[in-house]
Structure 1
């Protein structure tokens, strides 16, 4: 009988069923499938929602907060079921919840949620997620703790310590993310993906019923939360988790959760806004559970405790000295230190796990910590910090979670932190009163931060009290970094961080969004002797540039007289300085902070001097253009960036046809598609081939004008026309060449292949 308990329950035990059930395999497989479905929802539904909010990285951050919050509800529900209901009653309730969620299948955006508001997009997005996928996600989210609690009652030899199943389930989570990126998204339309998820969900219900059957074979005499194991299976239930231990659980769960969102924002804003870089931190997060939640952990907490301080030194270097490091090294180093910090927290959680009778309570407090961390990084930090300051601060917070040693106690740590806070206050006063000259402030602060982190990391090895003081002193320095002398203004919104920065020589001022320059103006334009005039457009918008060439071509096709011109993406507003008398210009911009910055004549002069009467329409371009049925443009420019990531929903077949429905018979559509990571020309060429548009493409590799002035950048631009003759002078310009799809499938609202675009870009490099 002992051997049969290790693998299956024989027919007839309990007198209820006539088939043998391989217990461990069924529970592990069900948890794998549940986790797979749980985490495949996130990239799938986030992609479905992206067109509503311009492809913003903020969508992913808010999605993380939503899914963590619903996960907390699911864990709370699982805890209540196991604590207050007998197992067979709990199974009945859960079966009803699972079946009720079928009413929301297949998954899709709920009706009535088509247009987001101009403000408070985070709240609107949370509501959209809730009414669209809330119940199915809730039903699936409860399975991890619930099935582990049921497993403790199967009589299996591992039933007394089922936590290893959580690590196994996260293999499904990890696999789902990469299978989605590499297989599902490139091969399947969103509608097909939704149907597959529905099929997987129905299969999950069957698997959960098999798990229930394995449990019901054994006699039930008490509510699940009170029994944990039957008396003969292991020790008696442990005492409730102490409050101090709960606080430790909260900290160890909150820091990784917040770090995941913060690192994602740091990568998207400050390093590289490469498509689906958002998924990499989350996948590493899940991988740490796979490694940590094992009966015999692959990496000990002691080893990680010794490694984490040195990881903090590396983190300080790559965060605060990004310009002196190669991009690939900086990106890789950030991911490595993140992985070490999160793995330490999760390994420590597993080390401090309670008795199996407190399993659902343990996961409940873990989930509370995760939600608190997500709320801080996803909702609070973007509204209180002008830059991604939460990322280095959370890396510092991880060091406070290291196990106490050398006689240190919680009380002594509290006193040390209080003392450090007092020193920090005095330190802050000194810094803000000008102890450091403004011209040297940034460099000195960076050196101080790295020095303090190095000494704190070394002190962690033997003198934790000193380490904690040094870490607390580092916090105000991190916040003061925003006072860089070249940064004129910083504004953070749902769509990213917009900075107004002067060049080191003080000759030019730029608008920078993430890692991309969105416009540049010569500082001489602000000199009084220049008076009112038209500042020279620079960056991508210069008279010799590709976008200006498309505008001139549109004028040529109408003998120089254009009526209505539309621009999607404001930037600094420098393209407005190409306006001719009698033309009506309308700009469509999704980010209010960009409008506010560009319209301020103390920052940039393009709008005030060239287009003060220009109509500004706030919102996503597809939604706002669609709402203007009577407008016909002679020229429409799509120049919409989110840092370096072009919103995919503006490059689909439906989008191109929408744009042309707003363009007059002989009008031109120009699209700026410069990108460091994606090859996009063939995607647009595929659409043109299907719908019969004439196109020309100017790329980096073409023979560009060598006489471009300083601060003028090359650009990849595609121009569309209904008839090739409308392209006018571009037909004879060597910069503008025909381009073919070369077998690339056109993107639609239901299908896009980001991975393919990355591969084409990399293969096209010299």
Structure 2
């Protein structure tokens, strides 16, 4: 009975804890443009609150008597129900800053909205586990198996959200359901307290020799090792989440998968029976680290399914190895809360490093390869013979000399490739990095040598131009990494956001006013602007998403242009004539409003714009909150009579048409689409990209005029709503239904 009640209580607390994480993050996404940094910052907050909960548990167990502990903890558990923290909701009137990073604003919102219940739940795992460890149950001497049960609950909560709660329930319904679950957790905690209220502490009878033995193990070397082993999987989890959601939407599924594997690793290593051999994992880890490094060093864009599989497999194996080392070094039950405290410290440092330090210090996502190097260093050695004397000295020297040789050779080859004019390509990448990877893999038995080899390989690869070409400028903000580059032929200048091109300009002065990429004059964008010029030659145009500013060159004399851009770094790049001259040449008086478009468009007068075009991006997609019922109603209010609403939906990973068709039908708007995906080799050479567009309007005439003014007859066709497609709202969306998995 005792074991069942404690197991179910810990399962319930962990389930609630990890249900609330994606739920509150999804509530916040509409305020911050759908950027993956929202989730990463939320993860830092969750880790800090977890550390605070573990610290409270450590202090309470160390300084308070049994019954005092119980009274204090029960009071804490009841507090969220007494101070109106539930159901969960965001505080009213809080709007993110537009000029500065919203990180600290976001942390403040999280403290106010979910801080107290999250703190309570995070403290319950070590408190309940320690209460059980103090009993005379036959399994109380090693209660770490309850940590596995807790992580099973965490996993259940995580997986339930994207596959059950998100597709079926609105956010308000999810919040009310979560409150009901919290009440059940309170009742179960009361039951645990009742079961241990009169029991004597098993630890109180521990003899002096055991206490002295426990005390001798409290050394800082051990604690620092715990911190390091917890740091690497935590940092890698957030780094992989960033990598996965840079070019695909920041949706709960892609947050949940890395975190789920992270939790499963704890379940497996702290279980009573080991299902996967620790030594087997240690031997496979070098190969997987190098495999994960391939897209980074070669700047190759892999298919989503392959990238997802590779990164998640690497995270899982690294987490199993690091957490396995933690499980092997777990202390006696008397130090249980201390052990969890130091693990939490490592997790928090990993989160802070990735989410707060890295965006300020690095111009690109360097934290991912750096933590792979740290993982290589922490990995236990493989079949290393005991050496002494000169043999040991020579082996240690080779730990640095061989990686140095690898780095020098790689650097020389990369410089030579550039000197002889070889352009980056898949065969060249295989030839260039394949041999280097095999050479580095030969260092795998010795952790220091292998880590140094990985570092040398990564350093040399920074001189390889890859798909980005010659980088003129790189800048990182809360919203991602922006790069300005020239192509190897010197014909075009590119603006990259993450790994996706979001602007091209010809370096030929005679062609520098020509919109390229998705916005060419002979493509759908040209059709849209020609129609708008004929209909409203002196109209106002709003464009959501600045990019390089190419749309400015579609502007006719007498028309005014207003850009809405959330990322200050993109604005700085587009306005700087050193990088792009679309704005300075074509629309020097264009207005740029910084901030989220949904929030800023509310301030525009109703009926202000004859055309609203959405080309906002978070990686390779329109942020979800810009394609909801409430968003479309806002756009309708801001459109002038006869105005049109435009969506640029060119996308590698999402099929947006069904959602937009449902929204148009719901808003009683006419809708048409243009599929301009066939682009000739000559057009590609001239800088044109395949594109897809959707236009909505109140009346059929606007759609008819668009088809009439098209440079390609029959390009614009109506879109029918698919039967059963549910309308997205601010309270409901389901991106799983529109992901392209192939």
Contact 2:145 2:270 survives alignment (8 Å): yes
1:624-672 C-alpha deviation (Å, 9 max, x unpaired):
1112336701111111111113200000111111112111112111111
CA distance in 1 between partners of 2:688 and 2:454 (Å): 43
Q: 2:504 maps to what in 1?
A: 520
Q: 2:626 maps to what in 1?
A: 650
Query: Secondary structure in 2 aligned to 1:159?
Result: coil
Contact 2:632 2:667 survives alignment (8 Å): no
Q: 1:510 maps to what in 2?
A: 494
CA distance in 2 between partners of 1:217 and 1:549 (Å): 80
Q: 2:580 maps to what in 1?
A: 604
Q: How much is the aligned-residue C-alpha RMSD, in angstroms? A: 3.4
CA distance in 1 between partners of 2:183 and 2:284 (Å): 44
CA distance in 2 between partners of 1:509 and 1:209 (Å): 65
Give how far 1:478 is off.
Answer: 5.8
Is the counterpart of residue 546 in structure 1 residue 527 in structure 2?
Answer: no
1:215-251 C-alpha deviation (Å, 9 max, x unpaired):
224135xxxxxx547559x966722522111011001
1:263-301 C-alpha deviation (Å, 9 max, x unpaired):
112223378878732322111111111111112222233
Give how far 1:464 is off.
Answer: 4.8
Is the counterpart of residue 739 in structure 1 residue 719 in structure 2?
Answer: yes
CA distance in 1 between partners of 2:465 and 2:157 (Å): 38
Is the counterpart of residue 165 in structure 1 residue 141 in structure 2?
Answer: no
Of stretches 340-349 and 298-307 in structure 1, the one that deviates more from structure 2 is 298-307
Q: 1:492 maps to what in 2?
A: 476
Q: Which aligned pairs between 1:364-763 and structure 2 lie closer than 5 A?
A: 364-403=341-380, 406-407=385-386, 436=415, 439=418, 454-455=438-439, 457-461=441-445, 463-464=446-447, 466-467=449-450, 469-471=452-454, 473-474=456-457, 476-477=459-460, 486-525=470-509, 530=510, 535-558=513-536, 561-629=537-605, 632-699=608-675, 708=683, 710-731=686-707, 734-742=714-722, 743-758=724-739, 761=740
Of stretches 422-431 and 68-77 in structure 1, the one that deviates more from structure 2 is 422-431
Q: 1:95 maps to what in 2?
A: 74
Contact 2:674 2:692 survives alignment (8 Å): yes
CA distance in 2 between partners of 1:71 and 1:589 (Å): 35
Give how far 1:343 is off.
Answer: 1.0
Contact 2:377 2:450 survives alignment (8 Å): no
Give how far 1:432 is off.
Answer: 10
Q: TM-score, normalised by structure 2?
A: 0.89
Is the counterpart of residue 250 in structure 1 residue 230 in structure 2?
Answer: no
Give how far 1:425 is off.
Answer: 10
Q: Which aligned pairs between 1:334-345 and structure 2 lie closer than 5 A?
A: 334-345=311-322
The structure-2 alpha-carbon separation of the partners of 1:285 and 1:447, relative to structure 1 and needing over 3 Å to count, comes to farther
Q: 1:47 maps to what in 2?
A: 26
Contact 1:288 1:339 survives alignment (8 Å): yes
Q: Which of 322, 327, 330 is the matching residue for 1:353?
A: 330
CA distance in 2 between partners of 1:360 and 1:753 (Å): 39
The structure-2 alpha-carbon separation of the partners of 1:696 and 1:446, relative to structure 1 and needing over 3 Å to count, comes to closer
Query: Secondary structure in 1 aligned to 2:23?
Result: helix
CA distance in 1 between partners of 2:681 and 2:670 (Å): 28
Query: Secondary structure in 2 aligned to 1:570?
Result: coil
Give how far 1:539 is off.
Answer: 0.7
CA distance in 2 between partners of 1:414 and 1:286 (Å): 41
CA distance in 2 between partners of 1:414 and 1:693 (Å): 77
Contact 1:386 1:482 survives alignment (8 Å): no
CA distance in 1 between partners of 2:463 and 2:358 (Å): 16
Is the counterpart of residue 121 in structure 1 residue 106 in structure 2?
Answer: no
Q: 1:12 maps to what in 2?
A: none
CA distance in 1 between partners of 2:483 and 2:94 (Å): 32
The structure-2 alpha-carbon separation of the partners of 1:181 and 1:121, relative to structure 1 and needing over 3 Å to count, comes to same
Contact 2:670 2:700 survives alignment (8 Å): yes
Q: 1:37 maps to what in 2?
A: 16
Contact 2:542 2:562 survives alignment (8 Å): yes
CA distance in 1 between partners of 2:419 and 2:43 (Å): 39
Q: Report the number of matched residues.
A: 721
Q: 2:296 maps to what in 1?
A: 319
Contact 1:439 1:485 survives alignment (8 Å): no
Of stretches 195-204 and 172-181 in structure 1, the one that deviates more from structure 2 is 172-181
The structure-2 alpha-carbon separation of the partners of 1:31 and 1:594, relative to structure 1 and needing over 3 Å to count, comes to same
The structure-2 alpha-carbon separation of the partners of 1:125 and 1:422, relative to structure 1 and needing over 3 Å to count, comes to farther
CA distance in 2 between partners of 1:416 and 1:62 (Å): 43
Give how far 1:591 is off.
Answer: 0.7
Q: TM-score, normalised by structure 1?
A: 0.87
Q: Which aligned pairs between 1:255-274 and structure 2 lie closer than 5 A?
A: 255-269=232-246
CA distance in 2 between partners of 1:684 and 1:614 (Å): 28
Give how far 1:29 is off.
Answer: 1.2
Give how far 1:341 is off.
Answer: 0.8
Query: Secondary structure in 2 aligned to 1:279?
Result: helix
Contact 1:159 1:229 survives alignment (8 Å): no
Give how far 1:458 is off.
Answer: 3.3
Q: 1:146 maps to what in 2?
A: 127
Question: Is there any run of 5+ residues in structure 2 with no aligned partner, and where?
Answer: none
The structure-2 alpha-carbon separation of the partners of 1:344 and 1:700, relative to structure 1 and needing over 3 Å to count, comes to farther
Contact 1:52 1:116 survives alignment (8 Å): no
Q: 2:44 maps to what in 1?
A: 65
Give how far 1:568 is off.
Answer: 0.6
The structure-2 alpha-carbon separation of the partners of 1:101 and 1:636, relative to structure 1 and needing over 3 Å to count, comes to same
Q: 1:224 maps to what in 2?
A: none
1:294-333 C-alpha deviation (Å, 9 max, x unpaired):
1222223322222222222322334323538655334322
Query: Secondary structure in 1 aligned to 2:199?
Result: coil
